[in-house]
Amino acid sequence: MESIKIDTEYVTLGQVLKMLDLISSGGLAKWFLSEHEVYVNGELEQRRGKKLKAGDQLHIPGVGQYEILE
């Protein structure tokens, strides 16, 4: 499992997808989530604005598993 370090209280799912270079702009987040399964803390998530905080885990099948850290 890889770590994603944040300096703020939370980061949105769309921002994380961009940080991981899975999308080139925030506008593509909605498309990415409609084409790929993304799990946050074990539950399927399709909201690009979902707030991820320290301790949250992200799993994208075929891409990797990540944990949000402060």
Question: pLDDT tens for residues 32-67?
Answer: 999 999 999 999 999 999 999 999 999 999 999 999
Tell me what pLDDT residue 26 has: 85
Give CA–CA dist 59/22, Å, rounded.
13
* Total domains, the chain: 1
Q: What is the CATH number of the domain that holds 14?
A: 3.10.290.10
Question: Which residues form the domain of 7?
Answer: 2-69
**Token couple for 44:** 């399927």
Tell me what pLDDT residue 9 has: 96
Angle formed at CA 37 by CA 30 and CA 12, multiple of 5 degrees = 50
The strand ranges marked E within the chain are 2-5, 10-12, 39-40, 43-44, 51-53, 57-60, 64-69
